[in-house]
Amino acid sequence: MESTRTITVYGAYGHTGRFVVAELLDRGFVPVLAGRDADRLNALAAETGLAARPASVDDPDALDRALAGAAAVINCAGPFAATAAPVIEAALRAGIPYVDVAAELEANLDTFAHFADRARAAGVPVVPAMAFFGGLGDLLATAAMGDWATAEEAHIAYGLSSWHPTAGTRNAGAVSRERRGNRRMRYANGRIEYRQDAPPTLEWTFPEPLGSRAVIGEFTMADVITVPSHLAIPEVRTYMTVEAARDVVSPDSPAPAATDEHGRSDQTFLVDVVVRSGGQERRAVARGRDIYAVSAPLAVEAVDRLLSGRAEAVGVASAGEVFDAPDFLRALAPHVTVDLPQA
């Protein structure tokens, strides 16, 4: 197999991992299936005819074998508090780009804190949160920012028709809540703040067809890590439609159910990003279907650009810092449609 087209997918048998494997195949890459559960991995290998390389995160030699001959690794295995650091270590040993789809705030903070210097010194790109939460919002905010050097505020509002969480989402959320002592997090005054009070319920006017909707304010997602990692914006707020926020925390919400031949659910989303500076406002909007499925083209497009020399940074960096944000967003069609401010 051609090494420049070989991509290890860690957690390949998971819900998002399967979408990533399918996207890689559609784009002519050769996925190598890796992960902790050998039985699920071998079942997927039998289904797809792809190579399987079981590897526990506490076995560096097995991780090295999982990445051997690969041009890059995409980590889809949560909780990322357990998997990100060991897989990044393996990527640094192999000297290959690392991309993950982590929505866990604490795991993303750890990646920036622990690997920035080492990844930069090694000349290895490490791109965390290259997914619906974290990556897409960062790209939209970067595109909206445009030629502004600074801005006062960035607001990222998520209009989800529903949010039926995967088991991975539930597990990651439990790990995150435990790590921050059940406090909530927000990004204000140029820093991460932890609060004990309940987040506010507000009204947000989305573009059509959503219009005015009730949202949970300070429903903090990975964008508060990715956006301020490279943009000079001291206030970064994220919002979630009330119905979706209730879905994701309800123990009665079902897992996502496939409703088309690609395995996507019928969930739709609209991400509305508003950046304000000096009394001016710029807006960038993305629309699409299935937040888990759309993480696959985000992660695979990132790997494609890293391997083809279309990246502007090495070391640990968010999507908007590494890539040409408007160009990247337009390349996501037909998975995502975007409305961007005029240059």
pLDDT at 116 > cutoff 70: yes
- Assess if residue 193 is contained within a domain: yes
Residues 89 and 219 in one domain: no
pLDDT at 166 > cutoff 80: yes
User: What's the confidence (pLDDT) of residue 1?
Assistant: 38
pLDDT digits (tens, 9 = 90+) for 265-309: 999 999 999 999 999 999 999 999 999 999 999 999 999 999 999
Residues 177 and 69 in one domain: no
User: What's the confidence (pLDDT) of residue 343?
Assistant: 56
* Total structural domains within the chain: 2
Residues 152 and 42 in one domain: no
Residues 215 and 176 in one domain: yes
Q: 312: closest CA among 320, 130, 304, 116?
A: 320
Last residue of a domain, one of 274, 289, 304: 289
Residues 150 and 272 in one domain: yes
Residues 9 and 23 in one domain: yes
User: What's the confidence (pLDDT) of residue 4?
Assistant: 79
Reported confidence tier of residue 312, pLDDT bands at 50, 70, 90:
confident
- Assess if residue 233 is contained within a domain: yes
- Assess if residue 98 is contained within a domain: yes
Residues 107 and 170 in one domain: no
User: What's the confidence (pLDDT) of residue 124?
Assistant: 96
- Assess if residue 328 is contained within a domain: no
Residues 247 and 285 in one domain: yes
- Assess if residue 330 is contained within a domain: no
CATH code for the domain in which residue 162 is found: 3.30.360
pLDDT at 313 > cutoff 80: no
Residues 214 and 268 in one domain: yes
Instruction: Note down the domain range covering 147.
Output: 141-289
Residues 15 and 42 in one domain: yes
User: Can you tell me the mean pLDDT for 215-224?
Assistant: 96
CATH code for the domain in which residue 121 is found: 3.40.50.720
pLDDT at 95 > cutoff 60: yes
Give the orientation angle of helix 295-307 with respect to helix 15-26, to 10 degrees.
50
Residues 308 and 282 in one domain: no
- Assess if residue 336 is contained within a domain: no
- Tell me the pLDDT of the chain averaged across its residues: 96
- Assess if residue 339 is contained within a domain: no
pLDDT at 211 > cutoff 60: yes
Residues 81 and 182 in one domain: no
User: What's the confidence (pLDDT) of residue 3?
Assistant: 59
- Assess if residue 338 is contained within a domain: no
Percent of the chain, pLDDT > 90? 97
β-pairing, 72-75 with 98-100?
Answer: parallel
pLDDT at 2 > cutoff 90: no
